[in-house]
Structure 1
């Protein structure tokens, strides 16, 4: 693993789950982890309900732009966390892969995105503790 671990979050649209996870790991990681996110079929903009759920915690992802997943993204990562991207996620030997089964916040109101945000936050904190302290 790199001196500063590189974590890549991947979902289909790179607009909700992966953006939430990337923002939370960036926030909690305090520069101890390099964070990236991408999607197999990126949306045009971040999910507004996901942005609103993070804004409640003082985090702003409204300027984030969903990015297309590339093989180079995966090759550069130490840990790849998939969130429903299916077979579109390339697999490289020697990488650590985790698949987080999470509800897709697409089309949901912020009230229903909060539990997803909270679940991602718990997972991100556990991952960070493992990567930094483990």
Structure 2
């Protein structure tokens, strides 16, 4: 990937998993990766339990909002990571697609969302190590 890699996280409502993944990758990448998130059927607001568990680790999602998935966002991305959006995500040749099977935080308590956040964090750090190998 020449230049700054671009990653798009997609879930159905863009209110939980994809918001956490985008915030975590943006945080860990420290500006070295362009990060976006979107939903195939965006909700009205980000899940309050998600906002709370992210605040616990110093990341503020209170001003974030669910965004619709667009063809342009997929075309701009080098890596598209889906999290339960099914067939709603358009597929373009030359893109790297990953599907992360993760529990949906919708309707879950803060205690139940923390392990989802932590698993997303683990996967995001592994992705970052692939995108920006040490010494690059």
**TM-score (ref. length: structure 1):** 0.98
Structure 1, unmatched stretches of 5+, are none
Structure 2: distance between partners of 1:62 and 1:84: 23
Are 1:48 and 2:48 an aligned pair? yes
- Alpha-carbon distance, 1:70 to partner: 0.6
Aligned position for 1:59:
59
Structure 2: distance between partners of 1:2 and 1:16: 30
Cα RMSD of the aligned pairs, angstroms, is 0.8
Aligned position for 1:126:
126
CA contact (8 A) 1:105 1:113 kept: yes
Alignment of 1:19-58 (within 5 A): 19-58=19-58
The secondary structure found in structure 1 opposite 2:132 is helix
CA displacement, residues 24-83 of structure 1 (integer Å, 9 cap, x when unaligned): 000000001000000000000000001111000010001101000011110000000000
How many residue pairs end up in the alignment?
A: 134
Aligned position for 1:10:
10
Aligned position for 2:102:
102
Structure 1: distance between partners of 2:65 and 2:48: 12
**TM-score (ref. length: structure 2):** 0.97
- Alpha-carbon distance, 1:2 to partner: 3.9
Structure 2: distance between partners of 1:21 and 1:98: 13
Aligned position for 2:74:
74
Structure 1: distance between partners of 2:95 and 2:39: 18
- Hey, which bits of structure 1, 4+ residues long, moved more than 4 A? none
The secondary structure found in structure 2 opposite 1:133 is coil
